[in-house]
Amino acid sequence: MAETSPVFRLKLPSAEYFSALVKAISSVVDEGSFTADSEGLKLTGMDPAHVSLVNFVLNKEAAEEYVCEKTVEIRVNISDLLKFLKRAGDESLMLEYDEQSRRLKLVFTNPTARKERVFTLPTLESSAGPTPVPKLTFEAGCRVATQAFYEAIEDAALVSDYTRLTISPQAVILTSKSDVGTHQTKLEKDGSLVYEISADKEVSASFSLTYLDKIVSASKSISDETRLDLSTNKPVKITMPITAGKLEFLIAPRLE
């Protein structure tokens, strides 16, 4: 039987980089629907408790080769996809989707070593459509060093299961408290760990450290910089800057 040509093909120079992006996505969703269209690859999804949301876009400009004959939904078990991607070394990655067999093919290639590895992953039944991303406005924003933000989350988790995030015109502050004790990390505007603060007043909200830790620990290898956007007692938007695309998360506040 003749092999059908894939309706979608994407070649990326770094398999490891795409693996890191999918690891970040996996911090929110267990199963996810990638939508491939003429512009690129997209995925939005919420965790089962509807506390966190991921919004991922990889524009076709990020690819060495990009073919998409029509808009397709490719729904996969993200954990299974990640198992294959974690095997990535210093290789390129080709993703191909065959609509007839409903299989996603991953081809890892190392041209110098003349080595090629191929995995296929069955796709799942289509969902009810992409998760809508809420339209939010924010009163304050900042750009901070990812590692410093992650360390503040880890420190806060020593004393509580939630933290209060504050953005003021002069600093980004994480505080937590419980019977165990208290914690505060302050990253001041003029310091080397804060790249920008945009705030006319102090805004703050409390968030589950379980969700913050899961998302930031899974994403921290992607970018040295993290952008935070916040309004008082509203969701926080966490953005990891990526080339030719978008990777952002929303976490709902913990109302005290």
Q: What is the pLDDT of residues 133-185, one digit of tens each?
A: 889 999 999 999 999 999 999 999 999 999 999 999 999 999 999 999 999 99
Q: Looking at the domain assignment, is residue 55 inside a domain?
A: yes
CATH number at residue 31: 3.10.150.10
Is residue 1, in this structure, part of any structural domain at all?
Answer: no
pTM: 0.94
The percent of residues in the chain predicted with pLDDT above 90, rounded, is 91
Query: How many domains is the chain partitioned into structurally?
Result: 2
Note the pLDDT of residue 2: 47
* Secondary element (H or E) of residue 46: strand 40-46
Query: What is the rounded average pLDDT of the residues 93-107?
Result: 95
User: pLDDT digits over 196-248, tens only?
Assistant: 999 999 999 999 999 999 999 999 999 999 999 999 999 999 999 999 999 99
What pLDDT score was predicted for residue 233?
95
Containing structural domain, residue 174 = 140-251
What's the pLDDT score for residue 256? 67
Residues 17, 58: contact at Cβ < 8 Å? no
Identify whether residues 154 and 235 lie together within a single domain.
yes
* Amino acid, res. 27: S
Per-residue pLDDT for 110 more than 60? Answer: yes
Question: What is the side-by-side order of every strand in the sheet holding 8-12?
Answer: 65-68, 8-12, 92-98, 103-110, 115-122
Give the contacts of 34 (CB within 8 A, at least 6 positions apart): 41, 42, 43, 73, 74, 75, 76
Q: Is residue 129 part of a domain?
A: no
Task: Tell me the mean pLDDT in the region 54-69.
Answer: 96
Task: Assess if residue 185 is contained within a domain.
Answer: yes
Residue 42: is its pLDDT beyond 80?
yes
Mean pLDDT of the chain: 95
Amino acid at site 117 = R
Comparing 117-121, 128-132, 215-219, the range with the smallest average pLDDT is 128-132
Residue 131 has pLDDT above 90, yes or no: no
Residues 247 and 151 in one domain: yes
Question: CB–CB of 95/76 below 8 Å?
Answer: no
Q: Does residue 128 lie within any of the structural domains?
A: no
For 12, other C-beta atoms within 10 Å of its C-beta total 21
CA distances from 247 to 30, 42, 85, 115, 118 (A): 17, 10, 18, 31, 27
Domain boundary among 90, 122, 154: 122
Cβ-in-10-Å burial (0-12, 13-18, 19+) of 31 comes to middle
Res. 132 pLDDT band, cuts 50 70 90: confident
Residues 188 and 95 in one domain: no
CA separation for the pair 184, 164 (Å, rounded): 9
pLDDT for the residue numbered 6: 83
Structure token digits, residue 191:
């310091």
Higher-pLDDT residue of 130, 109: 109
Cα gap 253→234, rounded to integer Å: 6
Same structural domain for residues 98 and 193?
no
